Structure 1
Amino acid sequence: MIFVDGVPFTTHSSSSTSQPQGMDILIALLGNPSLVSASNSLKANPERKFSDSEETSPERSKCVYIFQREYATVDPAIVDFVGTDEATTCVGIVIRNQKTGMTSVAHMDSPKIVEMGLSQMLALLLDDSLDTVLDVHLIGGFEDVSLQHANGSNSVSESQADLDGYSFPLCSKIVHALGSREEKFHVRTMCVLGHNTRKDSDGKTYPIFNGFVVETATGVVIPASFDRSSRCPDEVVRRIRVSASYEDTSWNGKLLETYDYSTDCFKIAPCRWTLRQYHIALSLQNYSDSELLSICSTSPTAEGPDFVDNLKRQWNYLIEHPYWTETFPKRQPRVFARSADGRWKRC
C-alpha cells in the first residue's frame, strides 16, 4: 500500500488491462505537489563525489556501493552511506525502516526483477510491528521516450506507442508492486522520468542524476557520483555478474546478493557464466566504441565517459577466465572485509 503525506494514495481512474500495470498511479504520483516539491529540493542539492583515493583513516566514512541489479541492506550503526550510480534507464529504490534506520537500496534494471527484488529488500527491514513505517525514495530513469499521450489519451494504441522504451515500464512496475503489497510504503521522493530529465540544444534527453547515496543515520538522500576507485570491492567481477545473471537460471527474477549487514562484509554470491559469454567477449572486441555504445546500451547517448572502457575490462576478464569456477572455487562466494584503514580486503 502506498502512502503520501501520511495518507493512503489512490487514483480515481482505471487503465485498460492492455496498458502497463501501475500506469495510472505512476502518473498521479509524478503530479503530486508534495512529491514534485521533494524532487525539486533534491535537484537543488549539490552532487557529492566519492573517491576511495582520498586519505584513509579509521574515521573515514563507511560506504556500501551497489552496482546494477544488486541490492544491499545496511545497519546505520555500522554504515554511514549506501548508494549507487551509473543509472540511465535504471531506477534506484530506497526502502528505510523509519524506527530502526535499517536501509535497503536496490539498482533495478528490469520489470522482471521487481516483485521478488522487493521481497529480498524487505526481508531484513520488517519487524513485528503492524504499523512499521517504511520510507521509500525512487530516483533514476528518464524520459527515454515521449510521455505526451500517456495521461488522458483516448487511444490505447497511441498511448502504448509512446510507452516503448525502458524507464517508464520499469517505474510503472515498481509502483504497481508497492501498491499491491500489504506493507505501508510512505513515498517521500519520486525523482524519476520527467523529474529526472534534461534536454540539450538538439532536444536529446538525458538523466539529471545518475546516482545517489542515503545517509543512513538520517535517511536523507543526496545526489552522488562515484569514481572507479570507490565502486568496490570486486568491481569487474560484479559487473560481469550483471550480464551473466541473465543466462544463469539460479538468478531468475532476483536481485544480486552482495553485502552481509551482520558482519559488514561483502559476500559476492557465485554466478555462472558460459563459454557463450567468452565468445561474445571475443567478438565484441572488433567493434568501434560508437558501435559498442549502440549494441550494449539501452541509452547510448546518455552513458558516462567510461562506459565502453568498463565493458572492455569485463571482456578482458572473461577472456582470461572463461570458466566461472576459477572465480568462484567450490561455488563459494567471494568475501571482502573492511580493513583497519577502511578499505575492502579479500578474505
Structure 2
Amino acid sequence: MIFVDGLPFSLNFSSSSSSSSKSQPSDLLAALMEHQVLVSATHSFKSIQERKVSASMDSKLITSSNSSRYVYLFQREYATVDPSLVHYVGTDEATTCVGVVIRNRKNGMTSVSHMDSPKIVDIGFSQMLALVVDHNLDADLDVHLVGAFEDVSPNHASGRSISQGKRDGYSIPLCRKIVETMQKRPEKFHVKTLCVLRHNTKYDSQGNALPIFNGLLVETSSGTLIPASFDKTSRCPDEIVRRLRVSSSYEDPSWQGKLLDTYDTKTDRFIIAPCSWTKRLVQIVLSLQSLSDSEILASCSTSPLAEGPEFVDNERRLWNYLIKNPDWRTTFPMRQPRVFERTGDGGWKRAGFSSQGQGTYSTPLKSLQAF
C-alpha cells in the first residue's frame, strides 16, 4: 500500500492534493502527481545539481584514500545492496524508463531497478523486495521514482487504458503500472520522490519534450537521492554483454516478465545470469548495420529526440559484438553466469581472468568522494 507523508494514500482522501485542482483526479497516478507533499519533494530534488560520474582519477576530486564501492545498473536490471558492503547504487540512460528505488528504513537494505515496461513490474517488485523486506511486511519502505517524461501530450493519454500501447506513449503506462502495483501489494511503500512525467519534462528550442533527469544515484547509508549521469567508463562491469541481454531477453522465454539478475547481494559480486539469443536477432542486427544515425534513432529508440549523444555508438558496438558472437554459448558456455569480483580499489575483475586486458574494470567512485 502507498503512504505519503506518513499517511495511507487513496483516491477517496484527496484533501492534501493540490488546491488548484478543479476536479477529482481520474486515477491513482494523477492523484499522486498532484499531492502537495510530493510536488514539494520533486521541486527539492530538481534543485539538486546533477552529478556526473566518471572514472577520472583527477586528484582534485579525491578527498579520501578509501575508494567507495558502487553498483551500476543498465536497462531492465535490478540489484539489492547491503549498505555495509556498497556505498552507492545508480542507473541512468532512462528516457521513457523509470529508475525505482526501494529502501528499508530500519536496516538500509536498498534495491534499485531500471524498469522499461509494464510487463515486468509485477514480478520485478517481487524480485526487488525479496531481500529488502526479509519476510517483514510491516517494514517501512522509502520509495523514489525518477525518469520517464511526457512523451505524448497529457490530453492524448487522458482516460485511456494501458493496453492501448503507443497511443499513450511509453512513459504513462509504465508509471501507472508501477503505482498501481505498489497500491495493491501488502508492503508499506512511503513514496518520497515522484520525479516522472510532467515533473521530469523540459522543452528544447523546437518545442520537443525531453527528460530533465535520466539517472539517479543513492547513498545507501543515508538513503540520500542524487540526480546523476554516468559516462562510458563508469558503466561497468561487462557493459556490452549486459546491454545485449536487454535486447535478447525479449526472445528468451526464461526472462519473460522479469528483471535481469545481475548482482549477488551477499557476496558483493556481479553474477550476470545467462541469456540466449536467436539467429533471428543476429539477422535483424545485420539488416540494421547499414542504417544512418537518424534511422537508428528512429528504429531503435522509444524516444528518438530524447536520447543522449552516445546512443547510436552504443547500439553499433552492441551489434558488432553480436555479429562476432552469433552463438550465445560463446558468451555463456554451458549456460553459466559471468562472474566479476571486487578489486582492491573498488573496481571489478572477471573471476578466473588475469588482471590484464578486458577482465579488469575501473571504478568512478573515488571522484564521488566529493559528495
Q: TM-score, normalised by structure 2?
A: 0.87
Indicate the residue corresponding to 2:84 in structure 1: 77
CA contact (8 A) 2:151 2:171 kept: yes
Indicate the residue corresponding to 1:19 in structure 2: none
Q: 1:149 and 1:5 mapped to 2: Cα distance?
A: 31
3-state SS of the aligned residue for 1:314? helix
Report the alpha carbon displacement of residue 53 of structure 1 after superposing the two structures with TM: 3.3
Identity %: 64
Call closer, same or farther: CA 1:331–1:292 in 2, change over 3 Å: same
Call closer, same or farther: CA 1:148–1:78 in 2, change over 3 Å: same
Query: Is residue 225 of structure 1 aligned with residue 236 of structure 2?
Result: no
Report the alpha carbon displacement of residue 148 of structure 1 after superposing the two structures with TM: 3.1
Q: 1:164 and 1:34 mapped to 2: Cα distance?
A: 27
The equivalences for 1:174-213 within 5 A come to 174-213=178-217
Call closer, same or farther: CA 1:281–1:224 in 2, change over 3 Å: same
3-state SS of the aligned residue for 1:316? helix
Q: Unmatched 5+ residue regions in structure 1?
A: 14-21
Query: Is residue 68 of structure 1 aligned with residue 75 of structure 2?
Result: yes
Q: 1:52 and 1:259 mapped to 2: Cα distance?
A: 20
Tell me which amino acid in the other structure corresponds to 2:56.
S
Segments of 4+ moved more than 6 angstroms:
none
CA contact (8 A) 1:293 1:308 kept: yes
- What is the CA deviation profile of residues 194-225 of structure 1, one whole-angstrom value per residue up to 9, with x for unaligned ones? 00000122211000001010110010110001
The equivalences for 1:95-110 within 5 A come to 95-110=102-117
Tell me which amino acid in the other structure corresponds to 1:52.
A
Among 44, 49, 67, which residue is 2:47 paired with? 44
Report the alpha carbon displacement of residue 161 of structure 1 after superposing the two structures with TM: 9.9
Query: Is residue 29 of structure 1 aligned with residue 32 of structure 2?
Result: yes
Indicate the residue corresponding to 2:247 in structure 1: 243
Indicate the residue corresponding to 2:327 in structure 1: 323
Indicate the residue corresponding to 2:11 in structure 1: 11
CA contact (8 A) 2:137 2:186 kept: no
Q: TM-score, normalised by structure 1?
A: 0.92
CA contact (8 A) 2:156 2:168 kept: no
Indicate the residue corresponding to 1:307 in structure 2: 311
The equivalences for 1:136-285 within 5 A come to 136-148=143-155, 164-285=168-289
Aligned residues: 334
Report the alpha carbon displacement of residue 164 of structure 1 after superposing the two structures with TM: 1.4
Query: Once superposed, what is the RMSD of the aligned Cα atoms?
Result: 1.9
Q: Unmatched 5+ residue regions in structure 2?
A: 14-24, 352-371
Call closer, same or farther: CA 1:341–1:9 in 2, change over 3 Å: same
CA contact (8 A) 2:101 2:111 kept: yes
Report the alpha carbon displacement of residue 59 of structure 1 after superposing the two structures with TM: 1.2
Segment drifting more, 278-287 vs 141-150: 141-150
3-state SS of the aligned residue for 2:186? coil
Segment drifting more, 248-257 vs 129-138: 129-138
